[in-house]
Amino acid sequence: MIITINDKFWHVLCDALDAPQLKTDARFATKAARLANRDLVNETLATIFATRDLDTWERALSASGAIYGAVRTWPEVFNDPHVV
């Protein structure tokens, strides 16, 4: 789950994804445009995220300062060594 509450965090996300072209694409450049094109935003991001594994994305998102949290299955949660 990724939260881009404003254009600043959209730009942070685009940098983390190594997709700077999304910052200036008229369909995504503003919060209003992203909301109007929500399905296309989701499709575009899904395509990008499919190119790498979760661990790689978590490192990139964390390093960038993005607001995110991995959505995990119940088995993943309960097999995590940090869960007692």
- Tokens (6 digits) for 13: 């996300």
CATH number for the domain that contains residue 13? 3.30.1540
pLDDT grade, residue 81 (50/70/90)?
A: confident
Q: Give the total number of structural domains in the chain.
A: 1
Chain position carrying tokens 């983390």: 16
Does residue 57 lie within any of the structural domains? Answer: yes
Does residue 83 lie within any of the structural domains? Answer: no
Rounded mean pLDDT, 48-75: 94
Predicted local distance difference test score (pLDDT) of residue 80:
86
Does residue 30 lie within any of the structural domains? Answer: yes
Predicted local distance difference test score (pLDDT) of residue 4:
95
Does residue 62 lie within any of the structural domains? Answer: yes
Predicted local distance difference test score (pLDDT) of residue 83:
82
Does residue 84 lie within any of the structural domains? Answer: no
Per-residue pLDDT of 12-61, as tens digits, reads 999 999 999 999 999 999 999 999 999 999 999 999 999 999 999 999 99
**Which range of residues forms the domain containing residue 26?**
2-78
Does residue 61 lie within any of the structural domains? Answer: yes
